[in-house]
Amino acid sequence: MDYNFYLSTMWSVLKALPLTLEIWFFGIAFGLIIATGLTWLRASGSKFGEYFTRAYVFVFRGSPLLVQLYLIYFGLSQFDFVRHSPILWPILRDPMYCTIVAMALNTAAYESEIFRGALRAVPVGQIEAAKAFGMSAFTRFRLVTLPIALRLALPAYSTEIILMTKATALASMVTIMEMMGTAQKIQHDTFRPIEVLTCAGVIYLLLNLSIARLFAWVEYLLSPHLRPAPEQSQQIKPVPEVL
């Protein structure tokens, strides 16, 4: 075993981790914003909102992310108005931005479905109770619907985030030298694909396992009511006399 080769490969791939995380973070952040908009549009009850979000989800969930990425990166620049636009062109000529845009648009479709399901799963009784308390629509959303829905959406959301980590590897297909691109280059230079890809694989796996851990921890924090009650070793304190 050539430990030095493993170590140097590991180190070279790790140096590309910040770039992977950058794509990952911005893809998720913009995706979340778009998904929130889509969920709001879908929940607004308008016919246009429903058809638009349905079509959006159908298109972005039904085709491979690679096709979407190529369409944005290679395809859109065919339009003259895109090439002459001072806003669109700086974004669409840069492979990095294109990857982020493709990932955000793609994940938004999946996330909006997750959020829609979570909103629908909020028990009706809770909302009725909030109404009976005389809460305004905003207070009801802030104090009742949103916290419950967030808690319900979390497991599916964490799965989606892990899919996004895997999706960052596609950036290597449009010349970005993130972890996968770096691994590809080393593999071509050395012709030792098994060793190189194993190194990259270990890093991706550790990354995903830590993300899963993080979400499991957040889920634990958000669900104190689902945990078994602590053992009642201490005596219950008597209610202090008020009078």
Q: Which residues bind another protein (CB under 8 A)?
A: 58-59, 61-68, 70-71, 74-81, 84, 162, 165-170, 172-173, 180, 183-184, 187, 191-194, 197-198, 200-201, 204-205, 208-209
- C-beta closer to another protein: residue 80 or 231: 80
| Phi, psi values for residue 229, rounded to 5° | -65, 145
Q: How far is the CB of 163 from another protein (least distance, A)?
A: 9
- C-beta closer to another protein: residue 119 or 169: 169
* Residue whose structure tokens are 């985030």: 161
- C-beta closer to another protein: residue 16 or 65: 65
In one letter, which amino acid is 176? I
Q: How far is the CB of 96 from another protein (least distance, A)?
A: 17
Q: How far is the CB of 159 from another protein (least distance, A)?
A: 9
Q: How far is the CB of 208 from another protein (least distance, A)?
A: 4
In contact, 199 and 10? CB cutoff 8 Å:
yes
In contact, 182 and 9? CB cutoff 8 Å:
no
- C-beta closer to another protein: residue 83 or 131: 83
Q: How far is the CB of 213 from another protein (least distance, A)?
A: 12
Which residues make Cβ contacts (< 8 Å) with residue 188, sequence separation at least 6? none
Structure tokens at 35: 């998904």
In one letter, which amino acid is 23? I
Helices (H), 63-177: 65-70, 80-84, 88-92, 95-121, 124-132, 137-140, 146-167
- C-beta closer to another protein: residue 110 or 140: 110
- C-beta closer to another protein: residue 112 or 165: 165
Q: How far is Cα 35 from Cα 98, in angstroms, rounded to an integer? A: 18
Q: How far is the CB of 38 from another protein (least distance, A)?
A: 18
Look at the alpha carbons of 33, 71, 161, 195 in this order and tell me if their dihedral is positive or negative: negative
Displacement of CA 138 from its chain's centroid (Å): 26
Host H or E run for residue 207: helix 193-222
Q: How far is Cα 112 from Cα 153, in angstroms, rounded to an integer? A: 10
Q: How far is the CB of 30 from another protein (least distance, A)?
A: 20
- C-beta closer to another protein: residue 61 or 142: 61
Structure tokens at 125: 């009784």
